[in-house]
Amino acid sequence: MRIVPVIIAVAALLLPGMAGAEDAAAMREARLARWMLDPEAPIEQRRAIVGELEAIAKDDSERNVLYLLGSLYRQNPADSSSPVAQDLDRARELLSRAALHGHLLAMAKLSTIELQAGNHFEANTWAQLYGHYVLDPGGDEIAAHGNFAAMVLSKAIEKFPE
């Protein structure tokens, strides 16, 4: 099996500068994520790519790689076709690093991870950060993003001590 061409293709999808715009990066990320979770794609290739992505993630320069890996580690293989075992601590680490580099979806995902884990203060913090950075007054998407942030905040605040 020839894994190197697949790894090169994946690297080309992820490397910055290929299409400088954030929207183009998000589209590449979504395509790669769909492929990584495709049960028809050979698991050996997907696991090899995870190894390559782990190597890229070590230097913290690629927030999209951090986000993708964190998302993969968040998935439960029993419920998805993730090529890695679920590891919420690793998911938190990778998503936190992506969020600290400004990845908004990482902030949103962290808020839901922490909410599901019962860490209400952490969920509140990530939801507030997401809401702060994503909401553009006058933007068309303000309602959808605001509703998500408000939902996480209200669920987290319900559990705060009186």
- 104-113 pLDDT, tens per residue? 899 999 999 9
**Secondary structure of residue 41 in the 3-state scheme:** coil
Q: What is the pLDDT of residue 51?
A: 92
Q: What would the mean pLDDT of 28-54 be, rounded to a whole number?
A: 85
Q: What average pLDDT does the segment 46-65 reach?
A: 91
pLDDT digits (tens, 9 = 90+) for 122-151: 998 998 888 887 776 555 455 455 576 777
- Nearest-CA neighbor of 70 among 55, 59, 57, 52? 57
Q: Delimit the domains of the chain by residue range.
A: 1-102, 103-162
pLDDT reported for residue 14: 43
Average pLDDT over residues 57-78: 90
Write down the mean pLDDT value for the chain. Answer: 78
Percent of the chain surpassing pLDDT 70: 73
- CA–CA gap between residue 112 and residue 8 (Å, rounded): 33
pTM of model > 0.85: no
- Mean pLDDT in residue range 79-89: 89
Strand (E) or helix (H) holding 82: none
146-162 burial code (b ≥16 CB/10 A, e <16): eebbeebbebbeeeeee
